[in-house]
Amino acid sequence: MIQPKVIHYSEIEAQVVGAGAPGATIRWLIDKEHDAAPHFALRMIELGPGGESLHHTHAYEHETYVLEGLGRVLIDEQWYDLEPGDAAFVPPDAVHQFANTGEGTFRFLCAIPV
């Protein structure tokens, strides 16, 4: 039986994304490995000032929601500005990247299929 989970995001370790993503961390809030979530993973991405995610593509979509800070997202060849309360859908196979354009932390939720 799959167990429920209620946790504050700060209780989950922020993992450094690494090379190609300066200033980027990821927290796996809900996922298949730790929670047996059968369909989606929910992640919190945090980009420090000047930080950015990887410039990449893959076969699955992203659903994102901005919690804090200012940023932008590249989807294929178009950049879109983002602020708290904005949602962005990144289609499968789209080249994409998130970047912090503000002075504080750019924090957003990102759901992906598992």
Domain regions of the chain by residue span: 12-113
In CATH, what is the architecture of 12-113? Sandwich (2.60)
Q: What is the pLDDT of residue 88?
A: 98
**Strand ranges of the sheet holding 15-16, from the earlier edge strand across to the other edge:** 15-16, 24-30, 40-47, 106-113, 62-68, 87-90
Q: Which residues of the chain are under the pLDDT cut of 70?
A: none
Q: What is the pLDDT of residue 18?
A: 86
pLDDT digits (tens, 9 = 90+) for 33-55: 999 999 999 999 999 999 999 99
**What's this model's pTM, rounded to 2 decimal places?**
0.94
Q: What is the pLDDT of residue 90?
A: 98
